[in-house]
Amino acid sequence: MDNVTTDGAAPNNAPSTDEGRDWLATTGAGSAGAVLAALRDPSLGVGAPFSQPILLFERARVAGTTNIRDIDFICEDIEPGAKLGLKRDADNRDDAFAVRVFSPKNELIGYVPADINEPIARLLDAGKHLYAVMTDHERYHAWNKVYFEVYLDD
């Protein structure tokens, strides 16, 4: 019990703040994050420990579907409940917070709408694991309306 004091103060042999930073640098900053990211790799067959999906946005519509080649065929293969991928498009000249939405087969189906993409983009930039789930799809004249929810897997 050398490292415990009765008054809550740091013991004399506790590492200083500078020593703590040095320890983090030598052990590899982000190494815990790398382990958790590896655990989320579906090819490993291991779920992330204590993973709890958090619903961030309940209903949104994929933007830009009319600009996607073969969107009719892509949408035919997506069933409600399917997981959709979210990936940052930081180089997008039109929207600094652009986030692409991908089908389960990793085909681009459009973008997260601009009115909700900033918090999603910032979370993705911070290394958080986000995904979408398709809730509904409807065809309206020439438009494919794909609705989805956004989850944070934390």
Mean pLDDT by 10 residues, the chain (154 residues): 48 50 47 61 64 92 94 92 97 96 97 97 96 94 92 90
- Same domain, yes or no: 13 and 82: no
Same domain, 40 and 88: no
Same domain? 16 vs 63? no
Give the C-alpha distances (Å, rounded to integers) separating 3 from 6, 19, 27, 125: 10, 16, 22, 37
Task: Give the model's pLDDT for residue 141.
Answer: 85
134 and 74 fall within a common domain: yes
**Residues 41 and 57 both lie in one domain:** no
The answer to whether the beta carbons of residues 99 and 88 sit under 8 Å apart is yes
Same domain? For 117 and 58 the reply is yes
* Residues 14 and 70 grouped into a single domain: no
**What range defines the domain where residue 118 resides?**
52-153
Q: How far apart are CA 126 and CA 111, in angstroms?
A: 19
User: Are residue 35 and residue 89 in the same domain, yes or no?
Assistant: no
One domain, residues 106 and 41: no
pTM for the model stands at 0.68
Give 143's contacts (C-beta < 8 A, 6+ positions apart): 65, 66
What is residue 13's three-state secondary structure? coil
Tally of domains in the chain: 2
